[in-house]
Every structure is written in structure tokens, then in C-alpha cells.
Structure 1
Amino acid sequence: YRPENKSLIIRVYNSGKGISETDLKTLFDRYRILGDLEGNNYTQTTSRNGLGLFICHSIVQSLHGTIEVKSEEGRFAEFIVRLPHLEAEEEEAEPENEEPETVPVLSSPIDETGLPGIVSPENKPCVLVVDDNKDIVWLIKESLSEAYTIVEAYSVEEAIRLMEKQTPALIITDIMMPEIDGMELISRVKSDKFTRHIPLIVVSARISEHDQAEGLDLGADAYLTKPFSAVVLRSVVNRLMTSKKELKDYYYSPESAYEQSGGQLIHQEDKEFMDAVTAIIRENLDKETLRLELIAEKMGMNTRSLYRRFKKISPLTPSDFIKDYRLNYAAQLLVTTNLSVQEIIYKVGISNRSYFYREFAAKYNQTPKEYRNKG
């Protein structure tokens, strides 16, 4: 203590490894982690100093003090804390009107996926964080708690027990954990039809391309390496949650019943109908009896109903559609096989040679021989 300037000085000196000049710049940054990430096992995987320095720095700042670090790598590290004398301020005690503490709870409402989900009293989406390092869990919680309720699990077994009770909106998991590792958790989540829809993010010190590829191949939606950026983590979580909601909204919307086919937007039921018609044509292409009546019989419909349904979907009549399919297949055979033109005519179910040549020329503006040579 120095009475002349009313300040308290605390020095902590340690000989040994020291701290590199590069690490000194980010020593008090809670989003940076020191230490040999690959050399530590399980609980020591993330760092040797944890979040202690960040917390210490925050306390010193709140007391209007300063903290200084001197170090020479391979020799020593010294921390010097200077705290000014502060007058204690007395505050009038306010009457206590305590309300029950609000904590995340496990309940059983339906989340936005339509499945039971873990929610908080504030109705924030729930994120399940799985990591055996409590510092990392705390760090992720600090990064996301403003927009999400965080449920903590310190082992895969604990995470599985929580998920058996309720379904989270998103999962963040480490890989290296004792007994059951994160890869097994990813595999279990993504192979279960009741949980495979849950977005899953890996945050791990295993940074090799092989590890990242393995996690993504198992079904992880994103793979972040430690030390990670809280800004990037929030962005990834927000993107996955937004994509999840947009996908749910799409499948509950009328638009989901349509898809692109043949350059036009077509209703799924209509596409299934046309696919069935096309399959019958393909299977019976070499038959001269391939007409509207045969297709109607195969589909269990009368010819009038089939014709009306077909005309609502296609600009062609059923007869023109069959003819067009035959000519397209003939053109394909001309350039992909050595079959003679006569053999191709028989394969597409046309018995009249003159009719084939005339219709082929009308469609492609050239004879079959010219088409083959050009192809």
C-alpha cells in the first residue's frame, strides 16, 4: 500500500514458461484461449488459464484500477495490479420485494418445428450447449443468452438425458469429451428421425481437415474451431435458426406444393400424375397399342377423365405427348447407339416408315440421317 497516492499495488510473479509477445496482446480477451490446444486432454483441452484473467481484468476495471503484465518468454511472467483508494458510498436499503427467480425450465409446449421443445419463461428458443469445460459453456452462454435460453450439459450422457425429456431448437457441442465423444452425439442426433431436424454446431479444438470433414459428414451444420469468435458463433446460430424457420414456413405454405419441371412451375400432385403417365409410356413405348386407352387402363381411370386431367397440365394432347416422347427417344437413340433407323423406328413403336420420317423432319428440320451425322 502506498499512502502518498492512496493506492494498493499487488504483484504476482511467476518464473517458468512466461507468455509470448503475441499472446500478451489478447491475454484478457475472453474470446481468445491460450495454451496447447492439442496437448491437453478433455477438461484441459481449451486452455490452462481458462477465463480467470478475463474475470480478473473485469474486476480491476470495475474498481477503477489497472492491470499490467510483464513477461519474458521462457523466464518469467509478472502481473501488477494497481487499485486506487475509493470512498465507500452508502446506499439506502430498499425494501425487499423479491420475486421467485426466473430460471430456464423444461416444459412441453410445441416449438417452431412442430415438435416438443425446451423453452424458457421468456419464450426464447433454447440452445443446448454440450462441453465438459465449464468455462467454454459459460462463454457460449454469455455470447448467446440475450437472444436464446441456454441449457447446459457437461457430458454427452447428460445431453442425451435432457433431449429424451425435451427437444432443443439447436445444439452446440464439443468433440473431445470423456466416455462418449461429440461425434457419437452428432451421429445419434442425425440418425434419429425425431431429432435429425435440429441444427447442430460443432465448436472444437480438433481443427484438422479430417476432423472437420468427419463432423460435417455425420450431419453437423457448421464446424467452428477453438479459439472461436463470439460474433461468428452468433451469426451462425442466427443463420441456422432463420433457415429452420424459413424451411418450416415454406413447407406449411401453398408454394411448397409446386416445383419446377420442364421449365415451368407445376403442382406436386400434377407432377406425380405426369410422372406416372410418362412411366407407362416408357414401359410400353415399343407397342403400337400405346394410346390414351392403354394409359387410362393402366392408371385405373376412364379415358375422358384422363384426357381432361392431362389437358389441364400439358399444352399437348395425350396423343401428341406420346408422339413427342417417341420422337425424342428416337433422336436420343440416333446419337447414342449404332442401331439402324429401321431398328429405331420399331423400338419407338412406329410401324409406318414414311410417317416417322415426316414427323421427325417436322420436329427437327432434318432427316434422321442428317441428325445422326450432326450429333
Structure 2
Amino acid sequence: KIDKNQMHLHCQETPLKDFLHGIVSLYRFNAQERNITLELKEDESLSSDKGKLKVWIDRINFDKVISNLLSNAMKYTFDGGEITVIIGKDEKNATIRVEDTGIGLKEEKTDRLFERFYQGNNSSGLHIEGTGIGLNLCKAFVEMHGGKIKAYNRTDGIKGSCFEVSIPLGNSHLQPGEILEEEDKKEQEITKKKVQANRNFNILIVDDDSEIAQYIKTELSDWYRFERACNGKEGLKMLLTGKYDLVISDVMMPEMDGITMLKNIKSNSNISDIPVILLTSKSEVEHRLEGLRRGADAFLAKPFDMEELHILIDNLVDNVRRIRGKYSGAQGQKAKIEQIQVKGNNDALMERVMKYINTHLADPDLNVEKLTEEVGISRAQLHRKLKEIAGVSAGEFIRNLRLEQAARLIEEGQINITQVAYSVGFNNQTHFSTVFKKHYGMSPSEYAETKRNEK
């Protein structure tokens, strides 16, 4: 597109620090894995107006420039090193420097680094492969913005390289067609409809990196409502006690990782229908495989593209809408266990199953073996049928109905919690409290208190 003059800029005024903060945040995960210090700073030229420097850029294409420079810095910096992105300005230009403590540049003429397909000399012996396209593309995008890019070895006595981008302040250097002051009316209408349609969807971000969560919130808060949990344990509790339509979760987290949380989500009938997007690094193949086994709905590799995440969320949200429209009224029958109606070819089987369970719900000896004897099919067949119809195993099906009945009795408040446990087939009060908390995210007494407060 660039070669054929088919690449067109759509520039808008952009707070430079906020823009760079979002991109830098996406590299923190890999930096932390390699013990690399990654910082974003402002130099002395911005001491009088910290955080207020604005530039006119095509955000999508300028993102590619910074991402490429950070990618290269990560590639050529050893573990335990430092990468610093420094913002500055002079009378006419804003400047962005990406400094690292890597292997430095061996080229006598560093301009050659920006030639297409040129392979630098500094990667010899490091087994680092490149195409020679990235820096050439950076140069093209920077020049389209009326700016310049250069590379040199650091001059502060520290070994490493520096790539410096400068772009003119203001927008007088841009053509009228390159300035995007307001969106096209049609796009505005589409965006407005999306906001109205999706803002009622709650998304839980589970990530111990607050900057990643904040970046997602900042970029997509016009479309969705976001809340954050710091780890899988906290995220699971929020899912069990609140109402969420989708989960975006990191894999590597303290206390409870993303895979374990995913396993708990998909095995709990209260929240198993919530779509889960897992954020992984490209190298975490084993985590992807385990996530697939546990029922992850989508994966996104860090650093990820925000537009890709937005499309992914939209698709999963649309799926949720279709499913809810198709099965509306079929869920949420906790208070009507006796009146459960299951439609379809499995009516007869489910009627027998429900009749027996409702009759023997208080019997602590009610188990899968007795249920299979009553309905007249093998344990394997019953397991397969219930997986097909209800999405859980026969054992989980019995346990879930017991807990839902217990929740209804606690909410009614006519008998105490000990009596509730016995009435749904639990002889051991401690065991009842443990499985209840796992299912609802709070103990029976906390559940009772919550329902009293709601009333």
C-alpha cells in the first residue's frame, strides 16, 4: 500500500504519554518474565507541562512504529537488562526515544538499518532471525507523519542502542484529508448503536497487572462495563457473587492461576455459560492446550491488538445473546425444582430422573448408582445424557440440585442452616458449608445475611 501510495493517514490529536503507556503496558508481561526493567519517562523538556504533550498521529499506524521499536529492544536486550521509552520535545517536534542496554549497533552507517530487507550485523551469533522489513516500515510511517527516525549507540556510557523518532507538533504539516477531526456520520451511528447495545454487558478482567486491566478499560469502556480482580481466587468469588457476561483472564497469576479458575468456572453450573478469554504469551503452548481441555472460549497472545480483542468480545457477546434468546426461560429454575420441565427427545428420561431426585433429595444415600438403577440405564449412559442435556455429570447434577434447594430454603428463612443441610441430604455440616461456598462463593450464613440485606 505504501509503495503504491494507497496508504492514507487518519490523524487525530492524541495525548502522547497516554498513547505510549498503553503500548508499553502490553510488553510488561514479557519484560517481567525476563526480569527486564521497562519504563516510560518524560525528559526535562516536559517539566513544565508533564503529561500534557499532544501530537497529531494516525493511532493505528503509529502504534506499529512504537511496537516494532519495543519488539526489537526486547529481542536484543539480555535478561535482567533495561528498556526505557523517553518522551521529550523541542520548539517544533515531539521526540520519542527507545533506549536499551542490549548488544548495541555494529553498523558504521546506521541509516542502512532502515533499508528494506537489510539484515543488521549485530545479531550474528545470537541466532536472532529478522526480515529487514520492520524498521523500513517504521521509517515509512514516521515520514508519512512528516517526521524522522534515526538509530545510534547510547552516548551516556552505557552499552546499548537508541532509536529516536521525532514528529512535528501541531497539524499544519498534514493534508486536510489526513486529519480526522470527527468520525464519519455513518461510523458514528454504528458506534452509538454498539454503545447502546453493549454497555449493559459486564466484563470481568482477571489480571495481577493493573496496567493491562486499565489499558483494556480505557480503550473499550465506551462499549462495555469493566471490573477487575487481581487473581483467579478473587475473580472466582466475584463471578459467584456478581453478574458478569464475559471474563478476560491472564494465565500466570498468584494464589490461583487462570487455568485453575477456568476449570472452576466450567465445572460450576451457576457460571459455566460465561465465556472466558485467556491471555497467554506466544510461548505458552502447554497453557493453550490445557485451556482448550478446560473449555476456554478464546485465546489472545500478549502483546495483543486491541482491535482484535474488541472483535473477539463482540463475537462472544453476540453468541451469548443468541443463546439467551434461544433458551430464555429454560434457566433459572432454582425455586421450581418440583416443576422443572425439560423439552425435547429426552423428556421421559429427565422426568424419571427429576421425579426420583425430588422424592429422595433429603436422603444422604442418594447417589449416582441408585439413580441409574431407578431410571434403568447404565452409569456411563446417564453420565453421557446429562452431559448432553445439562452440561454436567450425574454426580454434579445431583449436588447442584441439592445446593439450589438449600439456597432456596436459606432464602426463605423458615429453618436454620443445620436443618437446611439435613433436609437436602448432607449429614456433615462442615462438608455442606464447603461445597455451598464453592458453588455460591460464600458460606451459607453469609448467603443468608446477603439475602436478608437484599430484602
TM-score (normalised: structure 2): 0.36
Q: Indicate the structure with greater helix content.
A: 2
TM-score (normalised: structure 1): 0.43
- Could you say which structure has the larger radius of gyration? 1
